[in-house]
Amino acid sequence: MPREITAFSNPLVKRVRNLREKRHRREEGLFIAEGLRILAEAEEAGHLPLYIFYTAEMENHMMVRRLAYACEAAGGEAIETNVDILHKLSGKDNPQTVLGVYAEFDTRLTTIDRSASGIWMVAQSLRDPGNLGTILRTGDAVGAGGLILLDECVDPFSVEAVRASMGALFTQSIAQATWAEFVPWLRAGPGQLVALSLRTDTDYRVPTYAAPTFLLVGNEARGLPSDYEDECDLHVKLPMRGKADSLNAAIATAVMAYQVLGQRD
């Protein structure tokens, strides 16, 4: 049976509310995911929440009941609450009626199995959670293995990034590393490192991409450092016919990913 919580002063409400801050997520090793669709995709990918919160109106929803049962069967806790509590937990004026609390994934580079896919996304100093979420969704769409975040990137477990991923956070492998850690790891096995660059004249449609292909995109404002580009096996550019000199980082990554996928198909 679910526990009922309606008081803002409840210790668990305060604890989960604090997960909106990176410091508390790191201390707890937990993060928030919102919405029935995302929680259902997480379950399908093998991830169950430690806590599932839902409103009384959703108690008899078949999928909510299944998720709540699975959560409790795995040692978690199902909690019936109200919209006001969910608003406090998520920070949204119109919160989802279902919210889950999950254990953060192991994001060490050593968890990545490069043989699992022929396409991998790599982002350096990515700052926007929307871009991170879009890259994860693109990776899911093209069957990529996952996303490797280099240096100081936006937290993939932030509420905004999880929301933007629309469930792809649970279907894609995620690793976090420094450039100094990534390069030796990459060179220890097969892998072609391809830089999306403005410092080349090579059209992205010209080269043949070798598997596994690691697509490297830089910071939204600064792009890739020159010494990072020097380490890459290939530099390609998306042609710009108008006045803009570059595409959004996530869009450019998506265009490149579908080019690689098209070659493989």
- Per residue in 1-49, pLDDT (tens digit) is 678 998 989 999 999 999 999 999 999 999 999 999 999 999 999 999 9
Q: Which fold has domain 109-264?
A: Alpha/beta knot (3.40.1280)
**Local confidence band at 245 (pLDDT 50, 70, 90 cut-offs):** low
Domain map (residue ranges) of the chain = 3-103, 109-264
- Per residue in 93-135, pLDDT (tens digit) is 788 899 999 999 999 999 999 999 999 999 999 999 999 999 9
- Per residue in 131-141, pLDDT (tens digit) is 999 999 999 99
pTM of structure: 0.93
Q: What is the second-level CATH architecture of the domain 3-103?
A: 2-Layer Sandwich (3.30)
**Local confidence band at 59 (pLDDT 50, 70, 90 cut-offs):** confident
Decide if 3-103 and 109-264 have a common fold. no
**Three-state SS annotation for the chain:** CCEECCCCCCHHHHHHHHHHCHHHHHHHCEEEEECHHHHHHHHHCCCCCCEEEEEHHHCCCHHHHHHHHHHHHCCCEEEEECHHHHHHHHCCCCCCCEEEEEECCCCCHHHCCHHHCCEEEEEECCCCHHHHHHHHHHHHHHCCCEEEEECCCCCCCCHHHHHHHCCHHHCCEEEEECHHHHHHHHHCCCCEEEEECCCCCCECCCCCCCCCEEEEECECCCECCHHHHHHCCEEEECCCCCCCCCCCHHHHHHHHHHHHHHHHC
